[in-house]
């Protein structure tokens, strides 16, 4: 479920990035996309729960 939601958010941000007019907007959206893709990769590899538990300690 989370994977599908992350993919939906990534797609919406990519569409929004096409409409950006300033370099700063594009850079910020690129950083957000990078982080979301990293989160998705972590989730796909099943590492999310372990990392989350480590962060809570």
Q: Where are the beta strands (DSSP E) in the chain?
A: none
Sorted by sequence, the CB contacts under 8 Å of residue 30 that are 6+ apart come out as 17
Asked whether the beta carbons of 26 and 17 are under 8 A apart, the reply is yes
Task: Profile the chain (57 residues) by mean pLDDT over runs of 10 residues.
Answer: 86 91 93 92 73 58
Predicted local distance difference test score (pLDDT) of residue 2: 78
Question: What global pTM score does this model have?
Answer: 0.70
Residue 46 DSSP class: T
> What are the phi and psi torsion angles at 9 (to 5°)?
-65, -45
């Amino acid at each position: 479920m989370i994977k599908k939601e992350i993919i939906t958010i990534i797609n919406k941000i990519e569409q929004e990035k096409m409409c950006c007019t300033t370099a700063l907007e594009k850079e910020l959206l690129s950083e957000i996309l990078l982080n979301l893709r990293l989160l998705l990769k972590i989730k796909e590899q099943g590492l999310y729960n372990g990392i989350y538990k480590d962060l809570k300690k």
